[in-house]
């Protein structure tokens, strides 16, 4: 149960909990640490793994194409998406100036588009359709354009799960297979699971001031309930799942290249 504020908590004999980091991977605010936090390293690697998984099920795996796709998505997701997201309300509480965040977002998007155009010239001009959608969705989702139409759990799963996998596969040889569609669906579900687990964790870390309660077990014993206890299970799963996803992608790519 979230208390209304410090006064309400004190009146009930419960001291407000100290402020927690905005994410389990966030460093103390200030300096270079803000840029590390801005990257959302575990989640960025999680979504980059979808690119590699898509590439791994392509008929032929070209290392150069995969490397280019990974760099492009790092620029688009790791930099542009996260910089735009931080501009909307400072959810990570960084001290990075707005002008710098806009510059990061613009440079990341320009770099991602440039890589995509170069890839289209090499692989297939149909790749430009993926580039166009990627440029659109990274802005529409993170700036909640069109009344937030594209800022939903469904679009999160499609844009950050299915789309990287499909692009990673198509970038290999300019075509898509049934296998690519199937793994894209799996990546969308994985991305949806991430969203389902992270949403309550973000609320507890960023919006809840204090939690008061207890769990009464069948034998009559009691356990105190606080924000840390509520975060433990979903956040513990997130800490393990991002590593599992990255190792899975690395294993699939290694099996194809070696």
Across residues 171-190, what is the average pLDDT?
97
Residue 5 resides in a domain: no
Q: Per-residue confidence at 163, pLDDT binned at 50, 70, 90?
A: very high
The pLDDT tens digits for 187-241 are 999 999 999 999 999 999 999 988 989 999 999 999 999 999 999 999 999 999 9
The number of folded domains in the chain is 1
pLDDT over 90 percentage in the chain = 90
Residue 177 scores a pLDDT above 80: yes
Residue 7 resides in a domain: no
Residue 77 resides in a domain: yes
Q: Can you give the residue range of the structural domain that contains 108?
A: 25-257
Residue 3 resides in a domain: no
Residue 233 resides in a domain: yes
* Tokens coding 142: 């993170």
Residue 68 scores a pLDDT above 90: yes
- Using alpha carbons, select from 123, 136, 135 the residue that is nearest to residue 75: 135
pLDDT of amino acid 16: 37
Residue 149 resides in a domain: yes
Q: Per-residue confidence at 19, pLDDT binned at 50, 70, 90?
A: low
Across residues 153-160, what is the average pLDDT?
97
CATH of the domain at 134: 1.10.357.140
pLDDT of amino acid 140: 96
**Average pLDDT along the chain:** 92
């Amino acid at each position: 149960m979230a208390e209304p504020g410090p006064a309400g908590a004190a009146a009930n004999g419960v001291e407000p909990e100290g402020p927690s980091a905005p994410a389990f991977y966030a460093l103390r605010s200030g300096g270079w640490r803000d840029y590390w936090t801005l990257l959302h390293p575990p989640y960025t690697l999680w979504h980059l793994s979808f690119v590699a998984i898509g590439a791994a099920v392509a008929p032929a795996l070209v290392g150069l194409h995969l490397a280019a796709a990974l760099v492009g998505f790092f620029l688009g997701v790791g930099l542009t998406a996260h910089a735009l997201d931080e501009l909307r309300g400072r959810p990570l509480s960084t001290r990075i100036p707005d002008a710098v965040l806009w510059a990061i977002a613009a440079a990341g998007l320009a770099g991602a588009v440039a890589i995509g155009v170069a890839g289209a010239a090499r692989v297939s001009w149909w790749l430009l359709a993926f580039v166009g959608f990627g440029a659109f969705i990274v802005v529409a989702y993170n700036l909640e354009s069109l009344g937030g139409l594209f800022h939903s759990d469904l679009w999160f799963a499609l844009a950050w799960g299915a789309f990287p996998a499909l692009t990673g596969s198509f970038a290999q040889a300019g075509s898509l297979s049934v296998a690519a569609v199937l793994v894209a669906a799996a990546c969308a579900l994985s991305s949806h699971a991430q969203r389902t687990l992270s949403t309550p964790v973000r609320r507890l870390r960023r919006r809840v001031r204090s939690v008061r309660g207890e769990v009464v077990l069948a034998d009559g014993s009691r356990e105190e309930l606080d924000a840390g206890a509520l975060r433990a299970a979903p956040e513990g799963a997130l800490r393990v799942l991002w590593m599992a996803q990255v190792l899975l992608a690395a294993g699939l790519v290694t099996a194809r290249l070696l």
